[in-house]
Each structure stands twice: as C-alpha cells, then as structure tokens.
C-alpha cells in the first residue's frame, strides 16, 4: 500500500448540515427511556390504553430530557424540554384529527354500496337494510345549493376585493374591517336572518333558494378575504404599464389585473365553497330536508348532505346512525375533492 492511497481514503467531505452523533444518540436515548417509562407508568398507575401511554410517554420525555440537558447546562436543559413539549403539542393535535378521519372512513364505508350514489330515500326508511336507499338527492341538493351560493357570493366577494385593492376608495378600511367581522357571523344567525326574510316574507315556505342565500352570507367573507390577498400580489408595474398605454381603469382591472390572478380567484371561490359545503345549522332553518330527489328551487325544501347526516343522527336508531356516518364520509370526500382542486389550481401559478 502506498502512502498516497491511505491519504485519499481519509479525505471525507464535511457535512455540517448532518446532525452530530451526540444529538442523535440523545434523541434516541430520550425516546427509548421515555417509552420504557411510559410502560412503567401505565403498568403502575390508573392510566390505561394508548392515550394513557401517550400521556405517560410525554411526561417521561419531559423529565428525561431535563435530566439529559442538565449534563450539559441549564440553558441546554430548558432548550431540550421546550423542544420536547412543543413537539409533543404538535403530535398531540394529530391524535383527534386522525381519529376523526379514521372513524368517518371506517364507519362510513360500511353503508356505502353501488346504489348509494344513485338512489334517494323516498321509498326507503332510515332503518332499512344498507342495500337500499342512498344519498343521490342529498348530493344533488348540496351541489345545487352550493352552486347558487357561489354564483351570488363570488362576484360580490371579488367586487369587494377589487374595491379595496384597485379602487382604494374612501371606505376601503371600513370594508376590509367589516368583511373580517362578517366572517364571524354565527351560521345559525345567518340562517335566522334568511328565515325571517326570505322564508317568512318572500316565499312563505322553506325552500332551496333561501338555503343558498344563507350560505352565501357565510361564503362571502372567505371569498372577499382570499381574493383581496391574491389581488395584492399583482405587481404595481403591471397596472402602471396598462395605464401608460392609455387604458382606463375598467379595462386595466378586467383585462389585466383580474386575468393575471385568475387561478388565485378560482382558489378563493373553492375555499369559499369548502367553508360552506358542510354547514348544517343555517340549512335547518331555510332549506330543511326532503327525502326525495328535487330540483325545485323555490317551492320545496331540498335535501343536502349535512342535513341528511344530521337528520339520520336525530332519528338515532342503529341503522340511521350508520347512514349518518355514510353521509359524513360522502360529505368529507366531497370537501376533500374541492380542496385538492383548490390546491391544484393554486399550484398552477398565476395564469397567463
């Protein structure tokens, strides 16, 4: 072996971004010790089950990391404990969320069969077996009501954003503030309002259109806020260039600014839809629920997925509750699809 070979073998690139061995071993040691401690606590005390073990694990991790840190310094100990606590908080919030998704998927999939999406409940009682009946009426109803709500609130929402960002009129600040305040209107209050106006005064019966109006009240702030954020991203140069070419404000806004952020505005609309797709309370006061398929906007109540779920839950028998889970799953899938759509559209970047 020559000397040169030996040297060549020993030259290694430094990797300052890699965690030093000491850190890795500390983390592993804390993890193992806490896990063991967790088992010990569960075995010795009243804590039980996976959740009990998790609590004990976090508790032990805090203690162990404090001790481990004390080998170095007080500052290091505080840092380690903070890291463990913050990481534990992030991990903890995932528990209810994953439980929710898991429960809805596992319980909901039990009742879904091929006819689920093509039948309604007009000849099926909530208690019937799971091979009859379905939610086609509720899906269609949800889509109809959401579409109308979108048609109402998207133009107004975008106009509101244009007023704040493009027009910059006298009331800009107030409009922004009110839009934000409006996003906090309780959904049941929106329902009560539409009930006391459209349902009692105008149509004199529960109807789908009223439901759409109630939802559009809830949707408007989301659309307006998101559109405003998106419009703010348009570079000022673009507007100046358009004005310099002699364009009026109308054509600058309609032909330059808005097309630039087209995909962003679509995202705003989709986020608004996702916000209202699952609203139940306002619909109970406006569009109510109907067991059969209907496209009548003003003369009859209309079924929606949230009210279908809620109604079956209220019936409370075993099969009805199972159907409620099915409705939940269908609703959840619908909303997730909308979200994927929003992400895809947003990810495409700003239009041409």
Partner 1 sequence: MSDTPQVQVKAITVVRSGGDKVFRGIMTAGGLTSLVVLSLIAAFLLYRGFEIFRDFGFSFLTTSEWNSGIDDIGTDARMGVAAMLIGSIVIALIAIVIAVPFAIGVSLFLEYYAPKRLRNLLTAILDLIAAVPSVIYGIWGYVVLMPLVVQWAKTLNDYVGWFPLFSVPAPIFERSPFVAGILLSIMILPITTSVTREVYSRAPKDQIDAAYALGGSRWGGIRTVVLPFGRSGLVGGAMLGLGRALGETIAVFLVLNLVFKVNLNILSSAGGNVASLIATRFGEASRYELKGLMAAGLVLFILTLIVNAIATAIVNRSARGAT
| Helix residue ranges per DSSP H, 12-130 | 21-44, 49-70, 74-108
Measured CA to CA, the distance from residue 52 to residue 37 in angstroms comes to 12
What's the closest the beta carbon of residue 149 comes to partner 1, in angstroms? 14
- Binding residues for partner 1 restricted to 252-281, rule: CB under 8 A: 253, 274-275, 277-281
Measured CA to CA, the distance from residue 267 to residue 277 in angstroms comes to 15
Query: Quick check: 192 binds partner 1 (CB under 8 A)?
Result: yes
Query: Quick check: 336 binds partner 1 (CB under 8 A)?
Result: yes
Q: In whole angstroms, how far apart are CA 41 and each of 48, 55, 64, 91, 344?
A: 9, 10, 14, 20, 47
Query: Quick check: 233 binds partner 1 (CB under 8 A)?
Result: no
Query: Quick check: 84 binds partner 1 (CB under 8 A)?
Result: no
Measured CA to CA, the distance from residue 277 to residue 275 in angstroms comes to 6
Query: Quick check: 220 binds partner 1 (CB under 8 A)?
Result: yes
Which one of residues 109, 122, 249, 317 is an interface residue with partner 1 (CB under 8 A)? 249
Stretch that binds partner 1, among 9-17, 31-39, 124-132, 249-257 (CB under 8 A): 249-257
Query: Quick check: 64 binds partner 1 (CB under 8 A)?
Result: no
What's the closest the beta carbon of residue 5 comes to partner 1, in angstroms? 38
Q: Are 324 and 108 in contact (CB under 8 A)?
A: no
Query: Quick check: 41 binds partner 1 (CB under 8 A)?
Result: no
Query: Quick check: 131 binds partner 1 (CB under 8 A)?
Result: no
Query: Quick check: 203 binds partner 1 (CB under 8 A)?
Result: no
Which one of residues 186, 259, 299, 351 is an interface residue with partner 1 (CB under 8 A)? 186
Query: Quick check: 174 binds partner 1 (CB under 8 A)?
Result: yes
Residue with tokens 């990810």: 347
Query: Quick check: 117 binds partner 1 (CB under 8 A)?
Result: no
Measured CA to CA, the distance from residue 169 to residue 175 in angstroms comes to 10
Q: In whole angstroms, how far apart are CA 82 and each of 29, 38, 48, 87, 95?
A: 17, 19, 26, 8, 20
What's the closest the beta carbon of residue 222 comes to partner 1, in angstroms? 10
Query: Quick check: 63 binds partner 1 (CB under 8 A)?
Result: no
**Stretch 86-115: interaction string toward partner 1, x if CB under 8 A:** xxxxx-xxx-xx-xx--xx--x--------
Stretch that binds partner 1, among 5-13, 24-32, 57-65, 219-227 (CB under 8 A): 219-227
- Binding residues for partner 1 restricted to 142-161, rule: CB under 8 A: 155-160
User: Which one, 11 or 261, has the nearer CB to partner 1?
Assistant: 261
What's the closest the beta carbon of residue 162 comes to partner 1, in angstroms? 5
Q: Are 350 and 261 in contact (CB under 8 A)?
A: yes
User: Which one, 117 or 177, has the nearer CB to partner 1?
Assistant: 177
User: Which one, 207 or 309, has the nearer CB to partner 1?
Assistant: 309
- Binding residues for partner 1 restricted to 292-331, rule: CB under 8 A: 306, 309-310, 313, 321, 324-325, 328, 331
Query: Quick check: 231 binds partner 1 (CB under 8 A)?
Result: no
Query: Quick check: 348 binds partner 1 (CB under 8 A)?
Result: no
Q: Residue count at the site for partner 1 (CB under 8 A)?
A: 90
């Amino acid at each position: 072996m020559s000397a040169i070979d030996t040297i060549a073998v020993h030259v290694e690139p430094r990797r300052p971004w890699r965690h030093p061995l000491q850190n890795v071993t500390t983390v592993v040691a804390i993890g193992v010790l806490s896990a063991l401690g967790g088992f010990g606590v569960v075995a010795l005390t009243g804590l039980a089950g996976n959740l009990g073990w998790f609590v004990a694990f976090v508790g032990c991790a805090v203690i162990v990391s404090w001790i481990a840190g004390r080998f170095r310094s007080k500052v290091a100990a505080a840092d380690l404990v903070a890291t463990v606590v913050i990481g534990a908080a992030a991990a903890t919030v995932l528990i209810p969320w994953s439980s929710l998704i898991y429960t809805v998927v596992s319980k909901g999939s039990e009742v879904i069969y091929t006819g689920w999406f093509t039948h309604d409940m007009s000849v099926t009682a909530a208690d019937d077996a799971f091979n009859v009946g379905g939610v086609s009426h509720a899906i269609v109803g949800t889509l109809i009501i959401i579409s109308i709500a979108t048609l109402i609130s998207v133009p107004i929402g975008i106009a509101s954003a244009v007023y704040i960002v493009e027009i910059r009129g006298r009331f800009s600040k107030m409009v922004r503030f009110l839009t934000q305040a409006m996003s906090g209107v309780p959904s049941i209050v929106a329902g009560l309002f539409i009930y006391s106006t459209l349902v009692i005064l105008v149509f004199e019966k529960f109807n789908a259109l009223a439901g759409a109006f109630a939802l559009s009240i809830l949707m408007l702030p989301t659309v307006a806020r998101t559109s405003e954020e998106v419009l703010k991203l348009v570079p000022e140069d673009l507007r100046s260039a358009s004005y310099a070419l002699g364009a009026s404000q109308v054509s600058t806004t309609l032909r330059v600014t808005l097309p630039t952020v087209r995909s962003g505005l679509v995202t705003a609309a989709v986020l608004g839809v996702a916000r209202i797709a699952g609203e139940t309370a306002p619909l109970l006061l406006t569009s109510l629920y109907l067991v059969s398929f209907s496209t009548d906007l003003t003369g009859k109540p209309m079924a929606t997925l949230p009210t279908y779920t809620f109604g079956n839950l209220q019936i409370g028998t075993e099969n009805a509750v199972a159907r409620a889970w099915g409705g939940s799953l269908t609703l959840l899938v619908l909303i997730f699809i909308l979200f994927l759509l929003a992400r895809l559209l947003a990810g495409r970047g700003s239009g041409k």
